[in-house]
Chains A and B, each alone.
Chain A
Amino acid sequence: MAEIKQEPMSQKKLEYIRRERTKEMRLQLISFAMMIFLTFIAFGLVALDFDEAFVTPVVLGLAFLQVILQFFYFMHMKDKGHEFIKLMMLVGMFFAISFCVTFVYIVWIGAPI
């Protein structure tokens, strides 16, 4: 069995990668803190017994924000070289949502429209 041929990394390159990773880690921590904070707000709104008509849309909006943060910062959608993946995910979501809407309307509710 052959070994994989690898070249050792140069010092410059190593430093560059280290720097990039530190930056990445900082971003990860900040977005993680933000997400905890957003979750805390959502829980807080429910716990403080605000009006339901106010709480529902706000919580949904926060959830949407969370999804975007998740995709971009934790699942690397913001990184370079992810353009095609981004396109595929968006198209896939578009299809999935349209399928769900149809199922809700014409199968679950069931009344002809």
Chain B
Amino acid sequence: MASTAEKKGFWSVIWEYLTTVDHKKIAILYLIAGGIFFLMGGIEAMLIRLQLAIPNNDFLSAGLFNEVLTMHGTTMIFLAAMPLLFAFMNATVPLQIGARDVAFPFLNSLGVWLFIFGGIFLNLSWVMGGAPDAGWTSYASLAIDSPGHGIDFYAIGLQITGFGTLISGINFITTIITMRAPGMTYMRMPLMTWTTLVASVLIVFAFPPLTIGIFLLMFDRMFGSSFFLVETGGNTIIWEHLFWIFGHPEVYILILPAFGIFSEIFSTFSRKRLFGYSAMVFATVLIGFFGFMVWAHHMFTVGLGPTANAIFAIATMAIAVPTGIKIFNWIATVWGGSIEFTTPMLYALAFIPSFVMGGVTGVMQAAAPADYQYHDSYFIVAHFHYVIVGGVVFGLLAGLHYYWPLMFATMLNETLGKISFALFVTGFHVTFLIQHFLGLWGMPRRVFTFLDGQGYNTANLVSTIGAFMMALAVIILLVNIVMTVAQNKRVARDPWGDGRTLEWSLPLPVPYYNFAQTPLIRGLDAYWIEKKENNGQMLPAESLDDFHMPNNSILPFIISAGLFIAGFGALYLASGREWAIEAVSDLPQHPWAIWVLITGLLITFISMGIRSWKDDLGYYVTKEEVLNDLEEQERGGK
């Protein structure tokens, strides 16, 4: 079957990745696709900062600025941050719990292809008549008015990626609940697994409101309904509620796995057990739970009334408590540890003060009366970049360096890593610290330019300089990646030397079946225990025998491609129809649209039918093959 030793041609590698159901290869797909979208979102950020570098700039027109701004936010949240986190979840979670794959490998593959096709669909808007321009929140009053098809690309693109995310969330919950190795109780799971579990639960509860909201928007824009059209009895506030019922848990979906990555890094490079493990687990669950009760703090100025505002303000402030527990636990983990300043550890250490600053401004905004002042100013922009860049992006970069050997069996260059770390962190603070003050001085957010003589000039220029430092840091990181891949210097088992959790007990590159024998887990930090109290080998929990693995399949790719095609049909359906909203009723008619829609859906449903009615029972990895591999590892030396 999937023998790793033989040399493969280019096309067979492509085919392998198109059809793969292996969580490690899917992680690589998420990493590559998410990385490309991260770079696109970064370029959009640079365009924004260039436009705002000097007053009265006309580098971008106002309309184009709105498009770039919208696409920056949407791309970074949906197409960069979440998929990159999924990359690390896929790469680590099955290995951390001692499973041979996720619970539903087929769905895992479907999730990644839905995300990739949705992302491509959204970004095709640039070359197909204009990108969405109503902000990443796409408030319905703006979105319904926006002329052309930009918002339709947003709605359909996000709907397709959203299905993928929901599927992956269900997959991870099932995997973690049902596929843990013997001895891996809930309270022995590494923090990365715990945060993945809680984030997946949040995905399952938070994405349906988004799906519903986007469906309503799609119906309004493409099929002539009027959920949000005020003149025919609709209500645009419904969109805001639905969006933020999803949108607030979404930021916890992003930050919790980043917390997980940091927890692993802190304990590994302090060579200490994570301080207050059970409190950390409790805080994670509590953050997840509170995350659903606070969405209206994005809507304080909508006019919900003082009682409603007060309830949501207090609930919001309450989240600072479990987050504080986590911060103190991380500090106590590092305290008195034998600290090793590797690149991931540096990111983790820089994360603590940066994230605390973002958190403190968060509590400031949670005070509803004060929020009337901060609302829609650059203070908000500074706040959420402090938590998302200072929390999530630092986490992603730390995770990239930390898990790189696990994913590719090579090590990223530490010197270059430290240079890009220094540049990125400095650039980040230079860019966003000053934006707090810009906001307090009264600069509104989402403006495409500002006038001279208002006192915003220097601060905006400083911010732009900082942004370019971050860009330089990312370029150095890319050089580092290219160099590492080109040199291809292989590392062996436990490359950091201090691996604590189960994934580091595996030989590198990890065999496609992960574990020759399912390991027996004897406590938290399973691998560390075996290193200290045993010979550094995991104890097997089963005798060596044949085991069952799933077959590769092209169907997930075809199912996703079908939805992608159907998306274009839905998009052009309302063009020029008299029942359509004003935004698209002047455009030329496309009579073929309905047929494209039907064809796309047929492709999807027929492939789903094939999957349902044609049995695919997988195959067995034989004992002989595993024994061969084990022998080779022995001979290859550790």
B289 within 8 A of A: yes
Given A99-B245, A103-B241, A107-B238, residue A113 in contact with residue B304 (CB < 8 A): yes
- Are the C-beta atoms of A2 and B205 separated by less than 8 Å? no
- Are the C-beta atoms of A112 and B238 separated by less than 8 Å? no
- From A84, A91, A102, B177 is in contact (CB under 8 Å) with A84
- Are the C-beta atoms of B305 and A107 separated by less than 8 Å? no
A106 to B235, CA, bound (A): 12
A98 within 8 A of B: yes
Most interface-central of A91, A111, A113 (chain B CB within 10 A): A113
B308 within 8 A of A: yes
Residues in A with CB closer than 8 Å to B238 are 103, 107
B609 within 8 A of A: no
A58-92 to B contact mask, C-beta < 8 Å, 1/0: 00000000000000000000000000100010011
A4 within 8 A of B: yes
B198-234 to A contact mask, C-beta < 8 Å, 1/0: 0001001100010000000000000000000000000
- Are the C-beta atoms of A107 and B177 separated by less than 8 Å? no
B497 within 8 A of A: no
B296 within 8 A of A: yes
A1 within 8 A of B: yes
Given A2-B619, A102-B241, A113-B308, residue A107 in contact with residue B235 (CB < 8 A): yes
Residues in B with CB closer than 8 Å to A113 are 304-308
B293 within 8 A of A: yes
- Are the C-beta atoms of A2 and B618 separated by less than 8 Å? yes
- Are the C-beta atoms of B308 and A112 separated by less than 8 Å? yes
CB distance from B187 to the nearest CB of A (A): 14
A37 within 8 A of B: no
A3 within 8 A of B: yes
- Are the C-beta atoms of B201 and A88 separated by less than 8 Å? yes
- From A4, A5, A84, A95, B205 is in contact (CB under 8 Å) with A95
Residues in B with CB closer than 8 Å to A84 are 177
Which residues of chain A (9-56) have a CB below 8 Å from chain B? none
A96-112 to B contact mask, C-beta < 8 Å, 1/0: 00110011011100011
Tell me the interface secondary structure of chain A in the complex: helix
CB distance from A2 to the nearest CB of B (A): 5
A24 to B601, CA, bound (A): 42
Given A107-B235, A107-B241, A113-B307, residue A91 in contact with residue B289 (CB < 8 A): yes
B292 within 8 A of A: yes
B297-323 to A contact mask, C-beta < 8 Å, 1/0: 000000111111000000000000000
- Are the C-beta atoms of A3 and B241 separated by less than 8 Å? no
> What residue of chain B has the Cβ atom nearest to residue A3's Cβ?
B617
> What residue of chain A has the Cβ atom nearest to residue B177's Cβ?
A84
CB distance from A103 to the nearest CB of B (A): 7
Q: What is the size, in residues, of chain B's interface with A at 8 Å between Cβ atoms?
A: 27
CB distance from A27 to the nearest CB of B (A): 26
A88 to B203, CA, bound (A): 12
> What residue of chain A has the Cβ atom nearest to residue B305's Cβ?
A112
Residues in B with CB closer than 8 Å to A3 are 617
B15 within 8 A of A: no
- From A2, A5, A95, A112, B304 is in contact (CB under 8 Å) with A112
Given A92-B205, A95-B205, A107-B235, residue A1 in contact with residue B305 (CB < 8 A): no
B620 within 8 A of A: yes
B237 within 8 A of A: yes
- From B201, B289, B293, B304, A106 is in contact (CB under 8 Å) with B304
A88 to B235, CA, bound (A): 31
A106 to B308, CA, bound (A): 8
A95 to B618, CA, bound (A): 39
A72 to B603, CA, bound (A): 39
Residues in B with CB closer than 8 Å to A106 are 241, 296, 304-305, 308
CB distance from B429 to the nearest CB of A (A): 37
A111 to B305, CA, bound (A): 8
CB distance from A28 to the nearest CB of B (A): 26
A2 to B1, CA, bound (A): 12
Residues in A with CB closer than 8 Å to B620 are 2, 5
- Are the C-beta atoms of A2 and B296 separated by less than 8 Å? no
- Are the C-beta atoms of B292 and A4 separated by less than 8 Å? no
Which residues of chain B (269-312) have a CB below 8 Å from chain A? 289, 292-293, 296, 303-308
Given A106-B308, A113-B304, residue A95 in contact with residue B292 (CB < 8 A): yes
> What residue of chain A has the Cβ atom nearest to residue B620's Cβ?
A2
- Are the C-beta atoms of B293 and A102 separated by less than 8 Å? no
A105 to B311, CA, bound (A): 14
Residues in A with CB closer than 8 Å to B548 are 2, 4-5
> What residue of chain B has the Cβ atom nearest to residue A96's Cβ?
B205
Residues in B with CB closer than 8 Å to A91 are 201, 205, 289
> What residue of chain B has the Cβ atom nearest to residue A95's Cβ?
B292
A109 to B290, CA, bound (A): 26
A73 to B110, CA, bound (A): 34
Residues in B with CB closer than 8 Å to A88 are 201, 204
Residues in A with CB closer than 8 Å to B619 are 1-2
> What residue of chain B has the Cβ atom nearest to residue A103's Cβ?
B241
Residues in A with CB closer than 8 Å to B616 are 1
> What residue of chain A has the Cβ atom nearest to residue B304's Cβ?
A106
- Are the C-beta atoms of A1 and B308 separated by less than 8 Å? no
CB distance from B220 to the nearest CB of A (A): 17
A51 to B207, CA, bound (A): 44
Residues in B with CB closer than 8 Å to A2 are 548, 617-620
Residues in B with CB closer than 8 Å to A5 are 546, 548, 620
Residues in B with CB closer than 8 Å to A102 are 241, 296, 308
A5 to B546, CA, bound (A): 10
CB distance from B311 to the nearest CB of A (A): 9
A113 to B307, CA, bound (A): 6
Which residues of chain B (571-596) have a CB below 8 Å from chain A? none
Residues in A with CB closer than 8 Å to B293 are 98
Residues in A with CB closer than 8 Å to B204 are 88
- Are the C-beta atoms of B617 and A4 separated by less than 8 Å? yes
Q: Can you report 28 residue pairs joining A to B where beta carbons are below 8 Å apart?
A: A1-B616, A1-B619, A2-B618, A2-B620, A4-B617, A5-B546, A5-B620, A84-B177, A88-B201, A88-B204, A91-B205, A92-B205, A95-B205, A98-B293, A99-B209, A99-B245, A102-B241, A102-B296, A103-B238, A103-B241, A106-B304, A106-B305, A106-B308, A107-B241, A112-B303, A112-B308, A113-B305, A113-B308
9 smallest beta-carbon distances between A and B, as pairs: A112-B305, A113-B305, A113-B307, A2-B619, A2-B620, A106-B304, A95-B292, A113-B308, A84-B177
Contacts beyond the supplied A5-B620, A84-B177, A112-B304: 10 A-B pairs with Cβ under 8 Å: A1-B619, A3-B617, A4-B548, A99-B209, A103-B241, A105-B308, A106-B304, A107-B235, A107-B241, A113-B304
